[in-house]
Amino acid sequence: MVRKILRDDQWERIEYMLPGKKNDRGQTAADNRLFVEAVLWVARTGSPWRDLPDEFGFWNSVYKR
């Protein structure tokens, strides 16, 4: 399992800025926090998107988002 990159207090500070929340129009995002964690993982490790661990979801779906 991949360790969490964001603490809960950090997540609470940025959560409202992301689209796809329950009250937003249109499609609701499956897991905004997991998406942000995936982006931070790629930025922190310098790894290519194809090396994204499965815990974050299919790399290509995360990349396209």
Domain boundaries, the chain: 8-64
Q: What average pLDDT does the structure give for the chain?
A: 86
Distance CA 64, CA 38 (A): 12
**C-alpha 12 chain-centroid distance:** 14
pLDDT at 63 > cutoff 70: yes
Q: Given a cut of 90, is residue 41 above it in pLDDT?
A: yes
Of 13, 20, 18, residue with least CA distance to 39: 18
Phi/psi zone of residue 26: left (φ > 0), alpha (ψ -120 to 50 degrees), beta? left
Q: What is the pLDDT of residue 25?
A: 64
The pTM (predicted TM-score) of the whole model is: 0.79
Contact 46, 36 (CB under 8 A): no
* Residue 24 clears pLDDT 80, i.e. is over it: no
Where is pLDDT greater, at 37 or 19?
37
